[in-house]
Amino acid sequence: MEEKILLNILHEAQDKHGYLSEEVLKKISKKHQIPISRLYGIITFHTMFRVKKQGKHILELCGSPSCLLNGAREIERFIEKELNVEIGETTKDKKFSVYKTSCIGCCDGAPAMLIDGKPYVNLTIKRIKEILKELKNASTKRN
Amino acid sequence: MQVLRETNLQGLALAKKLGKKGTLELLAKRGLVGRGGASFPTHKKWERALSVKTNERFLICNADEGEPGTFKDKFLIKNNSETLIEGILIAAFVLDAKRCFIYLRAEYDSLRLELEKIIKKVLKKSKMKVSIEIVRGAGAYVCGEETAIIQSIMGRRGQPMEKPPYPTIKGLWGKPTVLNNVTTLTCVPQALLYEDWNPNYRLFSISGEVEHPGVYEWELGVKMSTILGTVKPKGKMKAMSFGCFGGIMPVYKSNRVSPALICDKNCHHGAYSLIFVGEKKNIVDVNLSMAKFYTYESCGKCTPCREGTIRLVELLKKIKSGQATNKDLKLLKELANHIQETSLCGLGASCGNHILTGMKNFKKDYKGFIKKK
Ligand code: SF4
Ligand code: FES
């Protein structure tokens, strides 16, 4: 029997539930016969697994050199101010979680960020305003 | 671009016609070496894995490029993934590998569904009985290291292991395992099929303060003036950095970009990522941002790398604050050297390059912050 890849199992669970709660991990642990401590060991080793409930959208701002040289810091400050959060936190209305990340391979579109895993490039303050507005509107419509 | 040529499974057909030995010979003749950084001859890597008697071998395509400033593999996954999959199938044929993996970095997850479709399509056309699974990385740079990738696929923390044993002898689940990166595998069918295939072309990822950042293909030894003429710097350039590993140096138009220029024999030029820095920037800032990258990405296994990268950031911050003395500069240099000498994997072994070259080549920037007694 071919062993199923643990990283993929964890990702699929996170895709489904939004984050890896203790409950979800207990199920995985039982089903695949992997001690829960080992699961936490893996999860906390990686930056893209979350063990807490997240905002509706996850923003990951690139903080690596090509983006910094092209104004990433201003973008970061603007987002923090606009959403009233600090990096690593979730907004009070639970709409956005904001993180900083190492290079996301979009250096030719610096400054860049990922929103829910999708790259957004050549960011300017104007563009961010539009993007945030779109995301906010879309989520109110859906709710 | 040579690397965008399509091969439509003709490379695979040729490999099957030539047989394993013939394919290895032709790859050797064409001079294909790994494009991940180490420039190891591809046929030799495959031969090593073949030298082990076993009932199972594995192939891993490393799509976990993550060095800041590098995005060439992403470019290939987007623009020539059919040829990449064909390369994987040729490797699988030569190695008798039944199970192949593509370790795709989490930051490229948006390419995954499309890639899955291409895998299905090419597999169907090839009629080969091989599986190609995508393993989804989860944001740990160090997992790009070959022993770490193996740990990671086996469901452990992706921490580098001591070598030997090399993965080609003892890799995934103890079986011989070949790791090739996206660019290398894309080159395989092209190198086999096209007589005029040039082994000296490299993909360059260009970014920083230029008008036309992007992925370009040039021959090794390309003149800096050619590069500058193409990518159009925004104003006067102060420096260029070879990714984060290769070090940072002034931009000389007459330079030719080849391994020798970058850092002699100990060089980690591998990915040919050039980050251009404009004249208004201070190199201490650039070094600080790179130092933070290492702190963030150190896997924590070796003390010098885990603790030392944090101290490097602290020292750089101290320098920037204007509180540092010449003694701190000396300490910074010593520490950078020390970490490099005592770390297990490539990350630790190169984490000080940017600082050492920054201090050497841009003394003024550093001295400008030093407290005058
Ligand atoms: S050198 Fe750093 S990244 Fe590499 S194994 Fe040691 S701690 Fe981990
Ligand atoms: S440095 Fe920001 S995407 Fe590469």
Q: What is the CATH number of the domain that holds A106?
A: 3.40.30.10
Tell me which chain B residues have a C-beta less than 8 angstroms from the C-beta of A117.
106, 109-110
> Distance from the CA of A116 to the center of ligand 1, in angstroms?
29
Q: Looking only at Cα atoms, what is the longest distance across chain B?
A: 75
How far away is chain B from the Cα of A143, in angstroms, using its nearest Cα?
25
Q: Does the residue A50 lie in any domain?
A: no
Is the bond into B250 cis (omega within 30 degrees of 0)? no
pLDDT score of A1: 44
pTM score over 0.80: yes
* Closest CA of chain A from B211, distance in Å: 10
Q: Is B50 helix (H, G, I), strand (E, B) or coil?
A: helix
- DSSP β-ladder status, A96-101 and A57-62: parallel
Integer Cα distance of A122 and A127 in angstroms: 9
Q: What is the DSSP letter of B359?
A: H
The confidence band for B2, taking pLDDT boundaries of 50, 70 and 90, is very high
Cβ neighbours of residue B348 closer than 8 Å, sequence gap 6 or more: B298, B302, B304, B305, B308, B309, B339, B340, B342
pLDDT in tens, A83-95: 999 999 999 999 9
Q: What is the pLDDT of residues B167-204, one digit of tens each?
A: 999 999 999 999 999 999 999 999 999 999 999 999 99
User: Regarding predicted confidence, which is higher, B97 or A143?
Assistant: B97
- A37 with A98, same domain? no
Portion of chain B with pLDDT greater than 70, in percent: 97
Per-residue pLDDT reduced to its tens digit, B261-281: 665 544 555 679 999 999 999
Q: Is the pLDDT of residue A35 over 60?
A: yes
Q: Which atom belonging to ligand 1 lies closest to the Cα atom of B306?
A: 7
Contacts with B99 from chain A: Cβ below 8 Å: 2
pLDDT at A48 over 70: yes
How many domains are contained in chain A? 2
Q: Are residues A26 and A62 in the same domain?
A: no
**pLDDT score for B263:** 55
Domain match, A137 and A107 both: yes
Average per-residue pLDDT for chain A: 94
Query: Does ligand 2 lie within 6 Å of residue A121's CB atom?
Result: no
Q: Specify whether the CB–CB gap between B45 and B178 falls below 8 A.
A: yes
Query: In this structure, are A77 and A137 located in the same domain?
Result: yes
Average pLDDT over residues A20-49: 96
Average pLDDT over residues B49-72: 96
- From ligand 1's centre to the CA of A119, what distance in Å? 29
pLDDT digits (tens, 9 = 90+) for B230-251: 999 999 999 999 988 888 999 9
Instruction: Give the pLDDT score at B143.
Output: 80
- The contacts of residue A68 (CB under 8 Å, 6+ apart) are A111, B285, B286, B289
With CB atoms and an 8 Å threshold, state whether B68 touches A41.
no
Q: Which of B146, B151, B347 best tests ligand 1's pocket when mutated (most atoms within 8 Å of CB)?
A: B347
Looking at the fold, whether A129 and A63 belong to one and the same domain comes out as: yes
Mean pLDDT of B15-41: 94
A62 and A117 belong to one structural domain: yes
Q: Which of A6, A8, A102 sits opposite B141 (nearest CB)?
A: A102
What residue owns the CA closest to ligand 1's atom 4? B345
Same structural domain, A20 and A41: yes
> Does ligand 2 lie within 6 Å of residue B66's CB atom?
no
> Do both A37 and A63 map to the same domain?
no
Q: Which residues line ligand 1 (CB under 6 A)?
A: B 142, 159-160, 298-302, 305-306, 343-345, 347-348
Same domain, residue pair A89 and A136 = yes
- Interchain proximity A108–B108, CB inside 8 Å: no
Inter-chain residue contact A7 with B292, CB threshold 8 Å: no
A37 and A92 together in one domain: no
Cross-chain Cβ contact A47/B138 below 8 Å: yes
Report chain A residues whose CB lies below 8 A from the CB of B286: 65, 68-69
Alpha-carbon span A106 to B351, nearest angstrom: 22
Mean pLDDT (chain B) is 94
CA angle (B266 as vertex; B262, B272 as ends), nearest 5:
40
| CB of residue A97 inside a 6 A radius of ligand 2 | no
Q: What is the CATH number of domain B283-367?
A: 1.20.1440.230
Pick the CATH number of B201-278 from 3.60.20.10, 3.10.20.600, 3.20.20.140, 1.10.3720.10: 3.10.20.600
Residue B292 sits at φ, ψ, to 5 deg, of -65, -35
Q: Could you tell me if residue A52 is inside a domain?
A: no
Are residue A63 and residue A112 in the same domain, yes or no?
A: yes
ipTM value > 0.90: yes
* Cβ–Cβ below 8 Å for A69 and B140: no
Contacts of B9 (CB under 8 A, 6+ apart): B86, B122, B125, B126
Residue span of the structural domain in which A82 resides: 57-142
**For an interface test with A, which of B64, B71, B285 has the most A Cβ atoms less than 10 Å from its Cβ?**
B71
CATH topology of domain B10-193: Rossmann fold (3.40.50)
CA of B3 from ligand 2 middle (Å) equals 23
The verdict on residue A51 lying in a domain is no
pLDDT at A143: 42
Domain definitions of chain B by residue range: 10-193, 201-278, 283-367
What tokens were used for A117? 């895993």
Closest approach atom of ligand 1 to CA B345: 4
